[in-house]
Amino acid sequence: MAKVFLPKGARDLMPAMMNRRLLVIETVREVFARYGFEPLETPAFERIETLTGKYGDEGEKLMFRILKRGKGGQAGEVDLALRYDLTVPLARVMAMNPGVQLPFKRSQIQPVWRAERPQKGRLREFYQCDVDTIGTDSPIADAECIAVVHDALTALGLTEFTIRLNHRQILRALAEAIGAGEQETSMLQAIDKLDKIGKDGVEKELIERGFSNQQVSELWQYLDGKTIPGTSEFEAQLRVILDIALDLGVDPDRVKIDRTLARGLDYYTGPVFETVLDGGYSGSISGGGRYDGLIGMFSGKGDVPAVGVSLGIERIFMLMEEMGLMPTTMTSTQVWATVFSSDTRSSTLEAAAVLRQAGIRVQVSTREGKLGKQFKEASTRGVPFAMVCGPDEAAAGTVVLKNLATGEQFSGTAEQVAIEIGN
Amino acid sequence: MAKVFLPKGARDLMPAMMNRRLLVIETVREVFARYGFEPLETPAFERIETLTGKYGDEGEKLMFRILKRGKGGQAGEVDLALRYDLTVPLARVMAMNPGVQLPFKRSQIQPVWRAERPQKGRLREFYQCDVDTIGTDSPIADAECIAVVHDALTALGLTEFTIRLNHRQILRALAEAIGAGEQETSMLQAIDKLDKIGKDGVEKELIERGFSNQQVSELWQYLDGKTIPGTSEFEAQLRVILDIALDLGVDPDRVKIDRTLARGLDYYTGPVFETVLDGGYSGSISGGGRYDGLIGMFSGKGDVPAVGVSLGIERIFMLMEEMGLMPTTMTSTQVWATVFSSDTRSSTLEAAAVLRQAGIRVQVSTREGKLGKQFKEASTRGVPFAMVCGPDEAAAGTVVLKNLATGEQFSGTAEQVAIEIGN
């Protein structure tokens, strides 16, 4: 017997899972659209030159490279690779469409591919879900990143979260304030672990990284609220963004300025934001910020103002499952149309057609005969209702609708049954 | 200045296009779900062993092969390839999930990749849109393939089409009836061109392919309706399928049995169907049939009953554009919220939030100042309404809604404006 496997780190999204994911994606897409973020899709692969040099050594190792077709490929030549994120493709789109109206606001919900180690349970194909606003430095654009995340999570029922807000330039000033301007990255890497390893852990790590006791002590004073020299402009920016976010309807209890948020080591140039679920869930479910240096990389036009946020959609799917926020239905089919016999099949099919016209999802049994067996099949599949059309019903122009959980029955025309299901 | 390109045969789907495509996909997905076809997604790549040997020499050449990561890849070793269709992945899913309830009905709307020659305008990444029913030989499953196509095209406004229905075994019997059992494939390849080159063209081609004048003459008699020996069983099957399709609500004017439909040279084993648009549009917009040999290929269980149909979704997008069936709006944004000045920004943003709560799509201008300029920007982007909140409105708690096409204005609270837009 032939054996067949999935590639490592890949998965099939079976119907029960897909139905739930589509609901989440539709909800998120609708929230995005309400803010003027409109959908973009880019190809799965990009030219290798477009992707190389963008992700650092580690990232490059994780790229899936595609052989040239024909002779070049036989010689091992590569011309394409699967996209690793949605930001480099966006930069390419902006470079190739210089006439596009700015600000350009786009959402993009598509898979990306990374050859992560599957033994760690990491997926090699997973969806990313980004919105970005290109071409404006208005703080409205930054605040909208906070507002869409707020609205999307709220719409999904994930209501207990905190959006943390900080500024890349404040972090830089912080490093300088403790005399560690050169060790900024190292400092940020340590601070970034605060959630995971706590204050003591971060202190220990900073000492190990060569920071002095005095530096560490000063650092905590600044993180606790002491004014960091040279940051008044950036603090003011954050307050404006926060004010706008509140005007946009963001719940003031769900967002806060937080100097310990160390997101974005190289990438971000201005405000940064990150969302964590309250209640001890570790890790972020969304993150973003202003990154003015990246979008212009292909156009040669220098910095292009850009701000965006990414919803950790795979993590959100998983958490919603864990938290019972996903529908538990195995199927979206509402009615199992049993087929009593060949003689009544026509009437059954016609009734099914009436229900479908009314927007109801009906699967017709491909097995005729014993109704008990057909009811059982429907129940096993998680279909809530069965429809029966025996000789008496066929003669009377009616059908019987049976609620498979309660056993309740309703008899009427197909039109009446459609209304009954709608109630 | 750096230059950057798309890979050959790839394209970006910009927002205006994506909005239209998503509408079509949602419509189609809803029709599929009403028949119990539920969504499946499989990974972009499969193990190379899963894909090789499935598409013939020509197909293999067109596959995108992925280098192994690390040393193997440096040596030119390949372990994965991008999927070429959605059927081989389905066969893999069935083999890997032997416990799945049969019949298994799935829809799948995902891109596939083929290294077609881009100079012919062929896409190398394009969406396929398939439904299949696995595990039953009930004619209901065959008829549902016809019915979903009928309902999907009707829902999309493509109401003038003909679904043609034939049977692989009738075509085989036809070849035998004219003494060309060995030349069946050659005969079908000629007949398949009937739409394109007409009866005379096909006759000429048959002669060139070595068929005798007598064979050609007999062939036309059979195609014109003369009973083909040994086909009564298959003719009866087609009539049952047709009857069921009509019971399911298929318009009798939109479907016909057609002996000249020569679809499916190796793949199909039973009924086959194809849809063409009426009115001189060449080429099919959907095709499918029963293919009992393919799904079992990985499970080693021999033939597994399977029937499915593919909507030519890329072609449908294109035709709908051509025929004016797509919305012509450049954007899904409904309201452009102008920002009169910093002083009234809060009121504007709060009004925008009220509209969004009501489900309206609002983009806030990131430029303040001259309203005329802001109106012009909204019009250029194709946004139908602008909202204004100047000092008077801010003081009164109202906003003005301006219809940018007619110049009509409506003044009221944000809640009243939301209702006005809904009307």
The DSSP-derived string for B2-55 is ----PPTT---B-HHHHHHHHHHHHHHHHHHHHTT-EE-B--SEEEHHHHTTSS
> From the candidates B88, B106, B140, which should be mutated to test the interface with A, based on the most A CB atoms within 10 A?
B140
| Model pLDDT, residue B207 | 95
Judge whether residue B47 has pLDDT over 70.
Answer: yes
A157 within domain boundaries: yes
Question: Are both A127 and A231 inside the same structural domain?
Answer: yes
Cβ neighbours around A391 below 10 Å, total: 12
Q: What's the rounded Cα separation, in Å, for the pair B297 and A190?
A: 53
Question: Are both B293 and B395 inside the same structural domain?
Answer: no
Nearest to A228 by CA among A304, A282, A174: A174
Question: Are both A192 and A297 inside the same structural domain?
Answer: yes
Q: Take residue B65 and report the two structure tokens written for it.
A: 């092969």
Contact residues, chain A, for B41 at CB < 8 Å: 12-13, 18
Q: What's the rounded Cα separation, in Å, for the pair A249 and A400?
A: 48
**What CA–CA distances, in Å, run from B411 to A247, B339, B386?**
21, 16, 12
Low-confidence ranges of chain A (pLDDT < 50): 1
Q: Take residue A249 and report the two structure tokens written for it.
A: 């309807």
User: Which of B322, B350, B375 lies at the terminal end of a domain, its last residue?
Assistant: B322
B55 within domain boundaries: no
User: Which of B322, B352, B384 lies at the terminal end of a domain, its last residue?
Assistant: B322
> From the candidates A67, A88, A338, which should be mutated to test the interface with B, based on the most B CB atoms within 10 A?
A67
Q: Element (H or E) spanning B350, and its range?
A: helix B342-357
pLDDT band at B2 (very low <50, low <70, confident <90, very high): low
| Model pLDDT, residue A265 | 60
How close is the nearest chain A Cα to the Cα of B361, in Å? 4
For residue A403, give the 3-state DSSP assignment: strand
Neighbour-count burial for B55-81, b at 16+ CB within 10 Å, e otherwise: beeeeeebbbbbbbbeeebeeeebbbb
Contact B66 A66 (CB under 8 A): yes
Q: Take residue B93 and report the two structure tokens written for it.
A: 């899913």
CATH number for the domain spanning B397: value is 3.40.50.800
Contact A366 B103 (CB under 8 A): yes
Judge whether residue B1 has pLDDT over 70.
Answer: no
Overall average pLDDT of the B61-69 stretch? 95
Residue of A nearest to B60 (CA): A69
For tokens 């692969």, name the residue.
A45
Provide the percentage of residues in chain B whose pLDDT is more than 70. 99
Nearest to B247 among A140, A350, A366 (CB): A350
Overall average pLDDT of the B42-52 stretch? 96
A74 within domain boundaries: no
pLDDT band at B264 (very low <50, low <70, confident <90, very high): low
Question: Are both B371 and B305 inside the same structural domain?
Answer: no
| Model pLDDT, residue A2 | 55
Cβ neighbours around B211 below 10 Å, total: 21
Question: Are both A162 and A288 inside the same structural domain?
Answer: yes
Q: What is the DSSP letter of A279?
A: S
Contact A352 B22 (CB under 8 A): no
pLDDT band at B265 (very low <50, low <70, confident <90, very high): low
- H helices of A3-62, in order, are 15-34, 48-51, 56-61
A349 within domain boundaries: yes
A76 within domain boundaries: no
Provide the percentage of residues in chain B whose pLDDT is more than 90. 84
CATH number for the domain spanning B196: value is 3.30.930.10
Judge whether residue B280 has pLDDT over 80.
Answer: yes
**Left, alpha or beta for A112 (phi > 0: left; psi -120 to 50: alpha)?**
beta
Q: What's the rounded Cα separation, in Å, for the pair A356 and A415?
A: 10
Could you tell me if B312 and B320 are in contact, meaning their C-beta atoms sit under 8 angstroms apart?
no
Neighbour-count burial for A177-197, b at 16+ CB within 10 Å, e otherwise: bbebeebbebbbebbbebeee
Contact B364 A144 (CB under 8 A): yes
Contact A6 B92 (CB under 8 A): yes
Task: Tell me the backbone φ, ψ of residue A397, rounded to 5 degrees.
Answer: 70, 30
The mean of the pLDDT values for chain B is: 94
Question: Are both A198 and A263 inside the same structural domain?
Answer: yes
Q: What domain count does chain A have?
A: 2
A10 within domain boundaries: no
**DSSP string covering B408-419:** -EEEE-HHHHHH
- pTM summary value: 0.96
Task: Tell me the backbone φ, ψ of residue B384, rounded to 5 degrees.
Answer: -75, -35
Contact A82 B66 (CB under 8 A): yes
Contact residues, chain A, for B111 at CB < 8 Å: 44
Domain that holds residue A409: 335-422
Question: Are both A303 and A356 inside the same structural domain?
Answer: no
For residue B338, give the 3-state DSSP assignment: strand
**Left, alpha or beta for B280 (phi > 0: left; psi -120 to 50: alpha)?**
left
Question: Are both B299 and B376 inside the same structural domain?
Answer: no
User: Which of A322, A343, A361 lies at the terminal end of a domain, its last residue?
Assistant: A322
Question: Are both A304 and A353 inside the same structural domain?
Answer: no
Count H helices, E strands: chain B?
16, 16
**What CA–CA distances, in Å, run from A164 to A149, A150, A173, A261, A291?**
12, 12, 19, 7, 17
Residue of A nearest to B368 (CA): A138
Cβ neighbours around A31 below 10 Å, total: 24
Could you tell me if A286 and A180 are in contact, meaning their C-beta atoms sit under 8 angstroms apart?
no
Q: What is the DSSP letter of A100?
A: S
Question: Are both B362 and B240 inside the same structural domain?
Answer: no
Cβ neighbours around B311 below 10 Å, total: 28
Could you tell me if B277 and B287 are in contact, meaning their C-beta atoms sit under 8 angstroms apart?
no
pLDDT band at B262 (very low <50, low <70, confident <90, very high): confident
Instruction: List, for residues B178-209, the tens digit of each pLDDT value.
Output: 999 999 989 999 998 888 899 999 999 999 99
**Left, alpha or beta for B289 (phi > 0: left; psi -120 to 50: alpha)?**
left
Question: Are both B237 and B103 inside the same structural domain?
Answer: yes
For tokens 């064979």, name the residue.
B215
Q: What is the DSSP letter of A41?
A: B
**DSSP string covering B211-235:** --HHHHHHHHHHHTTPPPTT-HHHH
**What CA–CA distances, in Å, run from A291 to A245, A269, A297?**
19, 5, 12
Contact A38 B333 (CB under 8 A): yes
Nearest to B132 by CA among B163, B94, B164: B94
Q: What is the ipTM of this complex?
A: 0.95
Question: Are both A30 and A112 inside the same structural domain?
Answer: yes
Contact residues, chain A, for B11 at CB < 8 Å: 43
**A213-223 vs A168-177: helix axis angle to the nearest 10?**
140
